[in-house]
Structure 1
């Protein structure tokens, strides 16, 4: 009730983020996260943007009692500190993890999530602070999955969906004045993928399983079996479930790599490779190979 009154009073004169911060402080102050919810478990998917995490989260959500805190499975949007600006990708950004815990537990209660539920959470920026997030819920069962995807497909998806101005505003200022479809843009996307792949690799020691987008989409039944073997809580997943990802029609899990990579010109692929080269070791460790750079 206090939260509702405060939010309603502020609604008339404050921006959304300011209202949300006020509501979150009230939630924290009244001790929403001080005790665990009986039977509640957490499953964190560590992933890069556009790497298939929505498809994976929708598959995981077919497990018995599995759900999410938001419709898209990304609870980052419940806290501006986790979801706004370039700083959300900064591992040094100060985050109040006690408040994060309070807000997420309160969200679970408000969505009617009860005992013996499994919350699937897959916000991509979590990878820069995953250890601290999992520690905030360490008095409850916590599971971690690392999801990887082919770097050329991911970079192609980034180039299609995010104009340089948006990339510069939300991800990294180096993109701000780049031209769409320029080789400089694609080289910078490759470098950014490499940097984030390094961060993703640092999550491996927390994970019960590392799985690829390719495995997930090309052999969903086998992938579901591997996931359940690693995390028995995921029993009864529906590998034939119809999922809706971004602006695609609902369908069974499908490998979109070839269609996305086809959009890249040879020059763009070479530029991505130049950006990826300093990160070859980590990319190969995750099961992918780089195009051979041209001589000369």
Structure 2
């Protein structure tokens, strides 16, 4: 059934091939070089630290923030990752998650603040965020691989785009949920807009903002795994290898490693939010 001839596919391909890539390829190459250095630097730093040291630090951090349960799980999880030979892959996935989350938070939190304090920005960003969150996850891989090639860089780009909306939404929600009585009292005492934001609204919105960062990390981890389809290293590549070779054992081993990583990151960020 074809009522209208709407050549969106041809228009899109023409825009990308005839203008975007020829005109902005240098710009995308620069971004690719910067991100590649960033990802490689984080990965090399994590790999240079002895696995035992990382496990002990996370164990102590989990004990202090959450208690014995998470600390014990962290210890068992670290032993599991080392025992099945997936420690390097876990660090590669973790590096992509860290870089993507940092970029998402740096851009998402200020945008969320601006969205909460400016109705025009809020009206513009809301449908964009809806579009970003409802777009199928695999669609993000197409422009990422087209503009940045294969490897960790397109994985970071796709993960950043996919994981940023929660940081924006939760930051905006946290500021909007500050009781109006508190805001009015602050204004009555002569607070400027900057003082109101920095000393009243943001401190009270911290738990909600941390919940958004937690969701950003979880989405970044899920996308970092899916990004193995475009050459991203790490645990996702092991899962993809298990699927392509019908290796059930490898798929299960790498899948459990992803679960361990996800639970540790989730519980730690939740505990930090509760402490704050």
**TM-score (norm: length of structure 2):** 0.25
Structure showing greater radius of gyration is 2
Structure number with the higher strand fraction is 1
**TM-score (norm: length of structure 1):** 0.23
